[in-house]
Amino acid sequence: MIGVVATLKVQPAKAAEFEKVFLDLAAKVKANEPGCLVYQLTRSKTEEGVYKVLELYASMDALKHHGGTDYFKAAGAAMGPTMAGAPVIEYLDAVE
Amino acid sequence: MIGVVATLKVQPAKAAEFEKVFLDLAAKVKANEPGCLVYQLTRSKTEEGVYKVLELYASMDALKHHGGTDYFKAAGAAMGPTMAGAPVIEYLDAVE
């Protein structure tokens, strides 16, 4: 199992637009990716415009599959204009 | 729903001891806390001794209950000697 914490910096004025696109993506992930065990958008309580996506994947294959889906790529393109900086993606090994 | 990312710095020489205590705690959390939706220990791929616990709670009450359990307090005491620094606990608002 693999963990991911993705830190996204969003332009505060575009937060609503970002959240709408992301929640649509999250619904598609949940509907189509049994290997994606957790895919939860969260909002920082202390830093405006900062979001963290908490993710867990059953395997490296599940993670790779996620990144290769059309809807993931389309969401990435749609979210691009709402970003305030490059995302920081941290990959973690689950301890079981 | 509430997200938590807890960053724990563990003395590399005591990693095995830490993991044993934590996994025992995680089993108790899963068995006793229906309000704790995710409680996953992960290990950094880049920083030795650094762990991140990815957590999701159904409510603030569930989070408070978690912190007040005897087994959580006992695990905290048992993990203390394995730490290499103070934990950093980040609370996040889930976006739904």
- Which residue is it, tokens 């159904």? B58
- Which residue is it, tokens 């992930």? A29
Contact (Cβ atoms closer than 8 angstroms) between residue B38 and residue B56? yes
Of the pLDDT bands very low, low, confident and very high (cuts 50, 70, 90), residue A93 is very high
Contacts of B33 (CB under 8 A, 6+ apart): B39, B62, B65, B66, B69
- Side-chain-side CA neighbours of B63 within 13 Å: the count stands at 16
Degrees, nearest 5: CA angle A25-A30-A36 = 105
Give residue B79's domain range.
2-93
Q: How many domains does chain A have?
A: 1
Which chain B residues touch A45 with a CB distance below 8 Å? 91-93
Element (DSSP H or E) covering residue B50: strand B50-57
Which chain A residues touch B44 with a CB distance below 8 Å? 90, 92
Question: What is the domain-level CATH number for residue B89?
Answer: 3.30.70.100
Mean pLDDT for chain B overall? 97
The helix-helix angle for A60-68 and A70-79 (nearest 10°) equals 60
- In whole angstroms, what is the distance from residue A38 CA to residue A93 CA? 14
Q: What is the ipTM of this complex?
A: 0.94
Mean pLDDT for chain A overall? 97
Q: Which among A51, A52, A93 is the nearest to B5, CB-wise?
A: A52
**pLDDT tens, B5-55?**
999 999 999 999 999 999 999 999 999 999 999 999 999 999 999 999 999
Q: Which among A23, A52, A94 is the nearest to B40, CB-wise?
A: A94
